[in-house]
Amino acid sequence: MIGGTNLKYTINDISRISGYAKSTVSAALNNGPGVGSEARKKIQKIAEDLRYTPNELAKSISMKQYNTVGVIVRDITNPFYAKVCRAVEHYAEEYGYTTLIYNTDGRTDKIEKAIRLMQGKRVAGIILDVNGLDERIENFLKEKSVPCIVFGQNSEYADSVEADDTAGACEIAELLLSCGHGKIAYIGPDDTNFYSRRRKKGIEKVLGGKKVCLKTYAYGNNPDSIKAGYETIRALKAVDFTAVIAYNDLTAVGVIRALTERGCAIPNDVSVVSFDDVDTIVFPLTTVNIPEYEMGKRAMALLKNRLASPDAEFVHVKLPTKLVLRESVKKLN
């Protein structure tokens, strides 16, 4: 044993003996993030040998700082992200954490601001939805200053969970081909949007080389998908396609509204398909189900495991999608 029973040892003493900074010692003793397993074991062994008794007030403050999970998403008003956040909140509570949610509209500057805010609040970890991994975000992940789960795409610098929406896009394109559609429009964000690029890639993979006219009508990286879909259709001089692939269900709502106003019946005149399968859409829309609740659940489970094992290899989860057939597609052949 290092110390006697009559002395009152502090974190400063453990820091001096172990050679680790006070912040690292505090995190190790309070099961906080960012401490390797060997360092944690060494610090906890020294504390045990010293018969260290923490200041209960200081401990309670520290624990409050470490029992929050940050959730950074692009649009909390989107039913897709609302369901993701509900899943994270549910399982965070089950694991003993509260959540702090920050909305970014998919903008890198707001993502960086959210990360700085959450670092300042000393969250236990962050579930991070980003619009592509640019250099600044990758540098943050490389630093490993806060355990992170990348949501919606893969990363070599963190655990990740995503849906295979490229496969879903292929299913949509194959459906329209099998129904005889030769003039197809894709309506969605421009190529600054990572998810839109990925979905278009799946569509083009199937339609490339086929006798099909595929036109892309891009709008800006606009969080208001309903308005963007509506205004895109309203701006067209003519509706010269038989099917629309919408970026997501909200875009499809705007597309259907505008097409109806232009006298087009769905699906008799124009078929419409999309992605997400959110349960707030009343129209019987054929769409690719993205398992958003399961994605949120898996993200929180990955973060829990990362906090328990900071040095473990990164885990990457890709969940399958499913094409849900309803009444918005007409067979032409």
Burial (CB < 10 A; 0-12, 13-18, 19+), residue 220, is: exposed
Whether domain 67-163+291-320 has CATH 3.40.50.2300: yes
pLDDT tens figures, 11-60: 888 888 998 877 788 878 877 766 788 888 898 889 888 888 766 545 54
What is the band of 198 on the pLDDT scale with cuts at 50, 70, 90? Answer: very high
| Residues 165-289, CATH architecture | 3-Layer(aba) Sandwich (3.40)
Residue 193 has pLDDT above 60, yes or no: yes
Lowest pLDDT segment from 17-26, 111-120, 321-330:
17-26
Confidence at residue 54, expressed as pLDDT on a 0 to 100 scale: 67
CATH number for domain 11-63, candidates 1.10.3720.10, 1.10.260.40, 2.115.10.20, 3.40.50.280: 1.10.260.40
Does residue 280 sit in helix, strand or coil? coil
142 is written with which tokens?
């490389």
Task: For residue 113, give the DSSP letter.
Answer: H
Task: Give the range among 48-57, 127-136, 156-165, 297-306 with minimum mean pLDDT.
Answer: 48-57
pLDDT digits (tens, 9 = 90+) for 85-105: 999 999 999 999 999 999 998
- Residue 4 pLDDT greater than 70, yes or no: no
Half-sphere exposure of 257 (CA within 13 A, CB side): 16
38 CB neighbour count, 10 Å cutoff? 9
11-63 against 67-163+291-320: fold identical: no
Half-sphere exposure of residue 164, counting CA atoms within 13 Å on the CB side? 12
| pLDDT of res. 5 | 44
Q: Is the pLDDT of residue 111 over 50?
A: yes
Query: Which DSSP symbol is given to 168?
Result: H
* Cβ atoms of residues 151 and 128 within 8 Å: yes
Q: With b meaning 16 or more CB within 10 Å and e meaning fewer, what string describes 165-188?
A: bbebbbbbbebbbebebbebbbbb
* pTM score of the predicted model: 0.80
From CA 246, how far away is CA 275, in angstroms rounded? 7
Are 219 and 190 spatial neighbours (Cβ–Cβ below 8 Å)?
yes
Does residue 204 have a pLDDT over 70? Answer: yes
Would you kindly state where each structural domain of the chain is located, as residue ranges? 11-63, 67-163+291-320, 165-289
pLDDT value at position 24? 81
**Any idea which residue has 């007409």 for tokens?**
330
pLDDT for res 59 = 53
Average pLDDT (185-203) is 93
Mean pLDDT of the chain: 89
Can you tell me the mean pLDDT for 228-252? 96
- The percentage of the chain sitting over the pLDDT mark of 70, rounded to a whole number, equals 92
